Amino acid sequence: MFGCRLCTGRRTGRAEAVVRYAERWGRVCARHGRWGLDADAGCGIEHLDLRGLPEVVVARRRWDGVARRASRTGAAPDRVFGLAYAVVCRWWDQALAWERERIWPARLHQVADGDAAADGKFSWWRAIARDAVVFPEVVAVADALLDPAMAELVWVDSGAGRPRALPADGMFCRRLGERVGRTWLGPLAAADHGGPLIAWMGAVIRRRRGAGGPPGYADDPWWVRQEHQPVTMAGQLRVLGKERRAPGSGTMWRAVVPPEQRARIGSLIDSAEEQLLQLRGVQSGPTADVARQLLRGLDHSAGLIEAAWKRTVVAAVNGGVPLEEVARWTDIPADALRSMLTAGKQEDGS
C-alpha cells in the first residue's frame, strides 16, 4: 500500500511517496484522515480522503478490540477479518440492486469529492474506494461472527437437534443486518446460497452437531474458499480496461436491463445452484434410486441454467452488444443465435 506522505514528512522531513506492507485494517491513517490505496493498482492516486467519513476511523479503533477478542478465542485475527471482508465485499457486489441501500452510496460520493458518477468514472470509483467504504461493515461483521450469541442463533435457525433448511427469515441473518445498520438486509443475506456467509454458518452447524470430517479447511469456519476471495483493486481495474475496449461496453448492465429481467436471471441461477447443492446429499442408497434422483435433479438444473442463459443472451443483445460478439461468447453461430432469438420472441407473442 501507499503510506501517508504527511506522516512520512513528519518523520523524515521529506514528503516522499512511500510503499509499505500492511494488513487491510492498517490502511487507515487516523492522524490525517487518509486511506492508503494499493500500490500495484496503477490508479493514479495514493490515498482517499476520509475526513468526511469519521466512521471509518472509528471502525479502525474498534478493530483493535475485535482482534484481541479473536485472539482470546483462539482465532487468528487476520483470518477473522478475511472472512468478514469476503462477506461484505460480496454484499458490495450485490448492492447495486439494493434499492434500500443508502449508506454506501453516500460514502462513495463523499470520497469522490461529492460525485462518484462525474466524467463516467462511477465504476472506477467503486473499484478504488470499495475497501474504504465497506470497512466499518467489515469490522461489524467480524465482531458479530465472533459473538457466541450469534453462533447460537445459527444453531437455532438450523433446527438445533432437529435439522432443517436455513430459513430466509432466520434470526441470525436478521440480527446481522441490524448490527450493520440495515434492518432489511437479513432475507437478502440468507438467500445468498453458496456465499462465504452461508459457508461459515454451515461450518458452525457441523461443529455443533459433531458431524464434521477429519480436521481440515472444510471444517474451519474462518477458511475462505478461493471462489469467495474478493477481486483485488488491480483486478477490477484490469476488467474495467477490457470492458472499455469491448463492444457494447458504453452502457451499464443495470441501465439497459429492466429490474424484473435482472431479477429473473438471478432467480434462475440461484435456483439452479440450490438444486445442485441438494444433489450432494443423494449419493447413497440403491443404485437405481440414486441414479434416478441425480439424473432428474441434473435435468432440472440444466433447464434452469439454459433458461438463464437464454435470458442473458436476450438482455445482452437488447442492451446494445452486437449479435456477432454474443455468438462468439456462446460458441453458437450468429445465424443460429438469431433464429433462436426470433423463435423466442414468437413464443412470447412479441
pLDDT, tens digit (0-9, with 9 covering 90-100), for 282-307: 666 788 877 888 888 888 888 889 88
Which residue, 173, 199, 234, sits at the end of a domain?
234
Q: Please, which residues have CB within 8 angstroms of residue 267's CB and are 6 or more apart in sequence?
A: none
My answer on whether 193 and 274 are in the same domain is no
My answer on whether 224 and 99 are in the same domain is yes
Please tell me the predicted confidence (pLDDT) of residue 324: 82
- Considering the domain boundaries, does residue 35 fall inside one? no
234 vs 281: which has the higher pLDDT: 234
pLDDT, average across residues 262-280: 81
My answer on whether 138 and 88 are in the same domain is yes
Angle at CA 59, nearest 5°, toward 58 and 61? 65
The pTM of this model reads 0.70
My answer on whether 136 and 113 are in the same domain is yes
My answer on whether 216 and 258 are in the same domain is no
Tell me which range, 213-217, 292-296, 319-323, is most confidently predicted by mean pLDDT. 292-296
* Partner residues linked to 220 by β-bridges: none
pLDDT of 341 strictly over 80: no
Antiparallel, parallel or unpaired: β 34-36 and 47-49: antiparallel
My answer on whether 344 and 284 are in the same domain is yes
% of the chain beyond a pLDDT of 90: 41
% of the chain beyond a pLDDT of 70: 90
Number of neighbouring beta carbons within 10 Å of residue 214: 6
Say which range, 70-74, 321-325, 346-350, has the weakest mean pLDDT. Answer: 346-350
Q: Which domain holds residue 169?
A: 52-234
Antiparallel, parallel or unpaired: β 28-29 and 34-36: antiparallel
My answer on whether 164 and 295 are in the same domain is no
Question: What gap in Å lies between CA 235 and CA 243, rounded to an integer?
Answer: 12
Say which range, 14-23, 178-187, 281-290, has the weakest mean pLDDT. Answer: 281-290
Q: Which amino acid is it at 247?
A: P
Residue written as cell 454458518? 201
My answer on whether 171 and 291 are in the same domain is no
pLDDT band at 350 (very low <50, low <70, confident <90, very high): very low
Is residue 36 a contact partner of residue 18, using CB atoms and an 8 Å limit? Answer: no
What are the pLDDT digits (tens) for 130-172?
999 999 999 999 999 999 999 999 999 988 878 788 888 899 9
* Partner residues linked to 47 by β-bridges: 36
pLDDT, average across residues 75-98: 94
My answer on whether 228 and 194 are in the same domain is yes
Please tell me the predicted confidence (pLDDT) of residue 333: 84
What is the residue-averaged pLDDT of the chain?
Answer: 86
* Overall domain count for the chain: 2
Number of neighbouring beta carbons within 10 Å of residue 208: 16
- Considering the domain boundaries, does residue 333 fall inside one? yes
Question: What gap in Å lies between CA 209 and CA 228, rounded to an integer?
Answer: 25
My answer on whether 104 and 197 are in the same domain is yes
pLDDT of 197 strictly over 80: yes
My answer on whether 224 and 262 are in the same domain is no
Please tell me the predicted confidence (pLDDT) of residue 280: 67
Please tell me the predicted confidence (pLDDT) of residue 289: 79
Which residue, 199, 234, 269, sits at the end of a domain?
234
Angle at CA 91, nearest 5°, toward 220 and 305? 85
pLDDT band at 238 (very low <50, low <70, confident <90, very high): confident
Please tell me the predicted confidence (pLDDT) of residue 140: 98
pLDDT, average across residues 224-236: 88
My answer on whether 68 and 204 are in the same domain is yes
pLDDT band at 213 (very low <50, low <70, confident <90, very high): low
Task: Enumerate the H helices of the chain as residue ranges.
Answer: 5-12, 54-72, 77-94, 103-111, 122-145, 148-157, 171-179, 186-190, 196-209, 233-245, 253-256, 259-279, 287-318, 323-330, 334-348
